[in-house]
Amino acid sequence: MPPTRIIIDTDPGVDDALTFLLALASPEIQLEALTTVQGNVAIEKTTRNALSVLEFLKAGDIPVARGCSRPLVKAPHASGEAVHGSGGMGRTNLPDPASKPIEAHAIDYLIERFMAEPKQISLFAIGPLTNVALAIRKEPRIVDAVRELVIMGGAIRSGGNITPLAEFNVHEDPHAAHIVFHSGIPITLIPLDSTYKCLLTGDDIERLNKIDSSIARFVRDATADYMAFYLKYEGFNGCALHDPLTLAAIIAPELLTLEEHYVSVDISGGVSTGKTYADFMKVSKQPANMKVALDVKGREFVELFLERIMSLRGGVARIAPRRRSNLQADGEIASSRRSRSSQ
């Protein structure tokens, strides 16, 4: 069976980077591109982190398109630096990237890729949904061209992680989430209800560190502050694999408990702004608009994550075939990448 081709819209972010790792270590997945958005940290940092992590994983051939620098309506969140560190990548110290993002804006790149190959590529949104919402507004036909949209976001029965009710990605741009949720695009939602059951623990990091691998050291350094934050504020020695769990939709769907529901998000501007809610009693008479992962075999997923990461012992990830697009950078950037990747 050919690998599932995916584009990840992302705000790296520690768990975002762990998602790139898992995608590149999974033969079921072909990572085609990254599009960046502000969220955990500012757009300059999320874009730099996307480029530098791909280069670290020897996948610098994968294009990165820079996206929106602020939410549609509300002011950007101060920053996720308390969780993800000042640079957004914990205690890692990756060199500045040699490559640059492609010329096209993330919105235009998403439209160009999905309209060029309808139903061939899946989109994984693991940051605020600003780019995705604007791509839908600019080219409504994209709704029928995306094979599947898998979103890390929301808190259905779970409490929130940025307010008592709301999850960070949705709360950061609730208006974008509202547009996406009601667009008709085929959605699988991976909310906190399941991601908080996928805890990477200090013992797991110790297991990783028994192998002499730059990848294991990267995971240790990236998650150190993340884990310290969870221990201090949430009382457990570990960190939730929020973003990586989205890939279970491809690599281990049997671990997810998915239910179809009508889900929306509060944009009223009050205390529950950004709260996602499912109409379990079907009182709104609205048809279901997404599949929701309300539960997961969390430990099994974490073991699968570790197994895949440890398979990258050599630190060399699979390099996805070069994907060119009309909007991709012009010749010299592409050729400079080619020459670098052949070094």
Can the peptide bond before residue 13 be classed as cis, meaning omega within 30 degrees of 0? yes
Q: Which segment (12-20, 64-72, 136-144, 318-326) binds ligand RIB by CB under 6 A?
A: 12-20
Q: Confirm if 188 and 293 have CB atoms less than 8 A apart.
A: yes
Q: Which residues are identified as catalytic? A: 242
Q: Which is nearer to ligand RIB, 79 or 264 (CB)?
A: 79
According to the binding rule CB under 6 A, does residue 167 interact with ligand RIB?
Answer: yes
* Closest CA relative to residue 52, chosen from 8, 95, 22, 7: 95
Length of the chain in terms of residues written: 343
According to the binding rule CB under 6 A, does residue 90 interact with ligand RIB?
Answer: no
In the complex, the smallest distance separating the C-beta of residue 260 from ligand RIB, rounded to whole angstroms, is 23
According to the binding rule CB under 6 A, does residue 71 interact with ligand RIB?
Answer: no
Q: Which is nearer to Ca ion, 42 or 333 (CB)?
A: 42
In the complex, the smallest distance separating the C-beta of residue 335 from ligand RIB, rounded to whole angstroms, is 33
List the one residue from 152, 252, 302, 309 that touches ligand RIB (CB under 6 A): 152
Q: Which residues of 55-92 are buried (b: 16+ CB within 10 A; e: fewer)?
A: bbbebbbbbbbbbbebbbebebbebbeebbbebbbbeb
According to the binding rule CB under 5 A, does residue 16 interact with Ca ion?
Answer: yes
DSSP 3-state helix, strand, coil percentages of the chain (rounded to 5)? 40, 15, 45
According to the binding rule CB under 6 A, does residue 47 interact with ligand RIB?
Answer: no
Q: Which is nearer to ligand RIB, 19 or 328 (CB)?
A: 19
Site mask, Ca ion, residues 123-152, x = CB under 5 A?
Answer: ---xx-------------------------
Q: At residue 177, what are phi and psi to the nearest 5 degrees? A: -60, -40
Q: How is residue 300 written in tokens?
A: 């099994």
According to the binding rule CB under 6 A, does residue 68 interact with ligand RIB?
Answer: no
Q: Confirm if 132 and 124 have CB atoms less than 8 A apart.
A: no
142 binds, among ligand RIB, Ca ion, none (CB under 5 to 8 A by kind): none
List the one residue from 126, 134, 150, 216 that touches ligand RIB (CB under 6 A): 126
Q: How many Å from the N-terminal Cα to the C-terminal Cα in the chain? A: 32
**Amino acid letter for position 80:** G
In angstroms, rounded to a whole number, what is the distance separating the alpha carbons of residues 62 and 324? 10
According to the binding rule CB under 6 A, does residue 9 interact with ligand RIB?
Answer: no
Q: Which segment (54-62, 97-105, 133-141, 238-246) binds Ca ion by CB under 5 A?
A: 238-246
**Residues of this chain that bind ligand RIB (CB under 6 A):** 11, 13, 15-16, 39-40, 126-127, 152, 161, 167-169, 242-243
